[in-house]
Chains A and B, each alone.
Chain A
Amino acid sequence: MGIELWIVFLIALLYLGTLFLIAYSADAGWLPSKLVDHPITYALSLGVYATSWTYYGSVGLAATSGFAFLTIYLGVTAAFLLGPYLLRPILNLCHEYQLASIADLLAFRYGGRATGSVVTVFMLIGITPYISLQIHAVTESIQVLTKRVPPDLLALIFCLVVTVFSVLFGARHLTPREKHKGLVAAIAFESAVKLIALLIAGIFAVTQVFGGWGAMENWISSNPEELQALYKPTSTSLWSTLLILAFSAAFLLPRQYHMTFVENERPEFLKTAYWLFPLYLLLLNLPIIPILFAGKHLSLNVAPDFYVLGIALTLGNNWLPVLVFIGGLSAATAMMIVTTLALSYMCLNHLFLPTRLSATRPEHNLYGRILWSKRTIIAAIIAAGYLFYLVIEVNQGLASLGLISFVAAVQLLPGVLGLLFWTRGTQKGFLAGLTGGAIVWFSLLVLPLLVGNASLDSAQKVIANFGFGHVDVWSFSTFCSLSVNCLLYLCGSLVTKRSPTEVDAAGICAGRDPEVLTSQPSLHSASAYVAQLEQLLGERAAQQEVSKALAESGIDYNDNRSISLRRVHERLERNLSGLLGPTVARLALRSQHPLEEPAELALAESLRLTEARLERSREQMRGMTKQLDDLRLYLRSVLRELPLGVCSVGPDGDILIWNDALRQISGIDEIQANNSLLTELPSPWNQLLGNFASSGENHQFRVQTTVNNELATYNLHKAEVAYPVGDESQSSGQVILIEDRTSIDLLESELAHSERLASIGRLSAGVAHEIGNPLTGIASVAQNLQYDDNKEEISDSANDILEQVERINSIVKSLLTFSRSDNSIGSEKTSLDLRGCIHEAQRLVNLGEQDKHIEYKLDLPEPLHVDANAQLMTQVFVNLLKNATYASPPQARVEINGTVGTDSVVVRIRDHGSGIAKEQQGQLFEPFFTTKPVGEGTGLGLPLVYSMLSSHGGKISLDTDVQDGACFEITLPASQGGAENAAGRTNNNQ
């Protein structure tokens, strides 16, 4: 019984349409992202490895070579077992450098356009048999199903349909970095379909053909030679050979590379795939033996490759053969779509674009041209597969075509292993090895198919002539080609020198982080990059690429700093690598404007990359390394949490460290600061820190500047730091500490005001008395005035009243002036004569201490000019005179004398009171320290005096030589203007 061809065709179209719909839905976001971006979806998408070779050819291979068919999947398991050492580093390289094909990877490592071109051409030739295998499988399966239609026409129609769908899946539009979310979803779906189809076929084989598991076991028992035949190849060279071939095919076949690395969205998905993908392959191969035995049991009249279809047809129902056919179609088309996609990208980037872009004529519509070129290449690749299908007759099973491609793919293994583990490999060595291996491969496996009777038997005969008749053709050809390859690779690498680019690339592939782009970009603005790229890519493409690079780097279009342009350059190169391949990307950016001579290593970039690498490597650290890294993190945390602003500057002036406290002080975040030179910071920080960094002083106190329209005060400290630490010959950077005194100054000012108000409170009794006296006088005069008629007497009385009023006014004015709060930080300073402040202070103190009748002896012969705030200086002397008066007995004398030195003014206040005990002298200026009874003093007077004098650049000290009483000495810097005037007057007097 067969199925009508048109039904088969319709089913095929419907299924492919469904696949496309799934892909489109995933791209459009109609499918839940949780489903599409899932590790299971990713692992299933790797199932593209199982082509119609697995679906049909495994049974055929099992029939001829027993369990050897499983090595094709055991080898993959081995590769995934070694995933952390083999697959993960490649994935990291692909993500980091946008390497979207195996040719990109090898071109990146070994450099040069030749590498990419040779690998691409070799892969094109090597994979063609594999593509023709799929065409064979589908056409023959249709032939089995329908039992008619010439295969060539069928094959042609199939190829045309696959071409259309390949373009729809992978070349509808250009995608950055060749990522196709929809394709991954579709391939995952088809992997599930073929697994289900094969499992169902296997279940039917066991239950319907044999009548149950037991019956099958009975059949096996009664046909022991079948079981023995399965195990026989495990001891042959074929077993080892196929393991090695499958191991390399797992990640070197273009479709596997594409799905494993290029389409990988998240590296952690690979960890799930390490075990899930081998599990999938195990389940997929589980039905193969039951299907083989069922086919033999039924003595089917079809090739073992198509036992699965034959069994389905024999069982009599319609849906099973259709399901099986869909599974096979699914396997074949998925392989062809993904393979042509991967190969087209390689052809585009390594064969087509380098030649197109080397022309001087700019491309006005580069993206369109790339897209149509890709579509054309896809069609050409499938056409090549079709031609191979027409030329070659498959008379040794489908698997033989696949194995030809596997032996081709394994020629890349030495180069890839060298990429990961051997830094000595050179481009010349790699190309020599690849070429030698390719020649042996072609001679032993492809040439016999093209000449003579087009059969691998010819190759077997050649091998037998060499005396290796007992060795199968696959083992022999793999061994010979790989040996030649490895030998030429090793010898060629050892006798040739590596270029600087190869040295760098080798280091990167072996685990070093990318070197900082030490060369300075020779282009000095974003618009210059547009003009540079425009010449090769066209205006629109150039503008688009530069805008994208700027957006991704977070850099403004008008930012022309060298640090920023360097980042833009790196980002552009990466993006263009993803779009056009690394070779073309470098060509586009550097062909006309090579980088300038290497500049000094960018310390900031180097430190950041080192930090980033340490962070990423932290998980693998152990022992001393981990302890050191813990210490590093602790010290970094200390810096970050320090309540002082910390800024570290390299020898070039680039900012290396900018901690949280400084971010809060300045409002400049770490990212902005770390991208800048010190002089490129926003105002006023560029001037404040820049001037301080270049000054000779290591400390600057109470530096004032305006921040956000408010006055702020900072203490600045700095120290030199040599890098590397300890190497004095290296130029040094600096570490700058910024202490924000703004709030402290405000607090001190408020405290001083509170103290003044408290003083006024203590003076209140004296104030009342002082005001009371003139008021009494006024009342008395006014009373007499009522009875005076004499004009002269009235006038005298009025003058007396006015005099008393003026006296009251003066007292009130003094109190008001003294009590005024001064909230401005850095109080207004003027050049004043301290004698005025001393007189005012004496008067104020007298108001409260009249009962004691203290005699104030002032010895202030000359002006004491200082630059100071009058109010604060008055408060200083009020506090000191109050203390002196408090400590003195009644009618004692308090002496105040002042002298002017060369640059300073000295005022001494001496009392003859109780003095200060020796043990208390050290605590005099401590806040809240007082010898007065509770309620009589706050203990803040002297600390405030100390602070106020310090803010004027002065000091206060206790003269410890004085025995009876106490003597405080105040020193203040002389006012320059006042000193000059004084000198002038002195000269004049002379």
Chain B
Amino acid sequence: MTFGNQPEKSPGTGGQSTSEPAGTTRKLDESPRGDLILILVLLAIFLFHSPFTHWWSSLGLPWYSIFVFWLLLIVLLAVQQSKKLTRRKTGTDSGI
């Protein structure tokens, strides 16, 4: 096992801010918070690029309905980010 004396720090090398490894690639299903993002992506596809899209667009909904769906996605994304922020402060979160 190797270990060194790098201090636990929030900034990166040379005082730079903490960042994930450059070019980190992670598969959606392997990331700890990827499950929520995956759900949001599926929801987005479901709403805006699926047979369901064709269905609700044929219902003659008010013109602002599409904005409501869009806002729903944005709100869910904001909630997911803020939850992540809270968990990070209590040290129980894994962040992306």
Contact = CB atoms under 8 A, between A and B. Distances in A.
A278 B94 contact: no
A368 to B, nearest CB: 29
A622 B16 contact: no
Contacts of A230: 63
Interface residues of A, number: 84
> Which of A84, A90, A553, A617 has its CB near the most chain B CB atoms (within 10 A)?
A84
A615 B23 contact: no
Interface string B56-89: 0110101110110011011101100100110010
Contacts of A622: 32, 94
Contacts of B78: 275-276, 279
A78 interface: yes
A508 B22 contact: yes
A656 B16 CA distance: 23
Interface stretch (A126-134, A604-612, A698-706): A604-612
Contacts of B96: 84-85, 88, 620
A221 to B, nearest CB: 10
B2 A607 contact: yes
Contacts of A231: 57-58, 60
Nearest to B41: A81
B5 interface: yes
Interface in A783-798: none
Contacts of A723: 2
Interface in B1-46: 1-6, 8-9, 12-14, 16-26, 28, 31-34, 37, 40-41, 44
Contacts of A224: 60
A715 interface: no
A58 B24 CA distance: 36
Nearest to B6: A611
Contacts of A656: 4
Contacts, number: 197
Interface string A270-300: 0110111011001001100100000000000
A857 interface: no
Contacts of A990: none
Contacts of A725: 1-2
A274 B37 CA distance: 11
Contact of A93 (B12, B23, B94, B95): B23
A543 B67 CA distance: 57
Given A89-B23, A89-B25, A620-B31, A240 B49 contact: yes
30 contacts: A70-B70, A74-B70, A78-B44, A82-B37, A85-B34, A88-B20, A89-B22, A89-B24, A92-B23, A96-B22, A224-B60, A235-B57, A239-B49, A240-B49, A275-B81, A420-B25, A511-B24, A513-B21, A610-B4, A612-B6, A615-B8, A616-B12, A617-B20, A619-B94, A620-B94, A621-B94, A622-B94, A631-B1, A656-B4, A658-B5
Nearest to A67: B66
A234 interface: yes
A74 B40 contact: no
Contacts of B85: 271
Nearest to A271: B81
Given A607-B4, A608-B4, A616 B20 contact: yes
A92 B25 contact: no
Given A552-B14, A636-B5, A670-B5, A85 B95 contact: no
Contacts of B49: 239-240, 243
A267 interface: yes
A751 to B, nearest CB: 36
Contacts of A228: 60
Given A607-B2, A658-B5, A286 B67 contact: yes
A635 interface: yes
Contacts of B67: 282, 285-286
Given A607-B4, A611-B3, A656-B4, A514 B22 contact: yes
A617 to B, nearest CB: 7
Instruction: Determine the main DSSP class of A at the interface with B.
Output: helix
Interface in A238-275: 239-240, 243, 266-268, 271-272, 274-275
Nearest to A276: B78
A243 B48 contact: yes
B18 A657 contact: no
A779 to B, nearest CB: 76
A659 interface: yes
Nearest to A84: B96
Interface in A577-627: 607-608, 610-613, 615-617, 619-622
A509 interface: yes
Nearest to A91: B19
Interface in A487-524: 508-514
B4 A81 contact: no
B5 A619 contact: no
Interface in A219-237: 220, 224, 227-228, 230-231, 234-235
Given A234-B53, A511-B26, A616-B21, A272 B81 contact: yes
Contacts of B95: 619-620
Nearest to B31: A620
B6 A234 contact: no
Contacts of A659: 5
Nearest to B9: A615
B43 to A, nearest CB: 9
A885 to B, nearest CB: 57
A285 B85 CA distance: 29
B21 A81 contact: no
A67 B65 CA distance: 11
Nearest to A634: B3
A511 B25 contact: yes
Nearest to B18: A616
A113 B4 CA distance: 39
A512 to B, nearest CB: 7
Contact of B21 (A268, A272, A276, A617): A617
> Which of B3, B23, B34, B95 has its CB near the most chain A CB atoms (within 10 A)?
B23
B3 A77 contact: no
B8 A267 contact: no
A419 B21 CA distance: 15
> Which of A279, A419, A621 has its CB near the most chain B CB atoms (within 10 A)?
A279
A375 interface: no
A640 interface: yes
Contacts of A78: 41, 44
Given A84-B37, A85-B28, A234-B53, A510 B23 contact: yes
> Which of A276, A615, A670 has its CB near the most chain B CB atoms (within 10 A)?
A615
Contact of A657 (B3, B24, B44): B3
B74 A279 contact: yes
B31 A92 contact: no
B77 A639 contact: no
A77 B58 contact: no
B25 A613 contact: no
Interface in A524-562: 552-553
B92 to A, nearest CB: 10
Contacts of A636: 3-5
By Cβ-Cβ distance, the 3 closest A-B pairs, closest first, are A84-B96, A509-B23, A275-B78
Contacts of B48: 74, 243
A421 interface: yes
A420 B20 CA distance: 14
A81 B75 CA distance: 12
Contacts of B16: 95
A632 interface: yes
A97 interface: yes
B25 A615 contact: no
A674 interface: yes
Contacts of A610: 2, 4
Contact of B54 (A91, A234, A279): A234
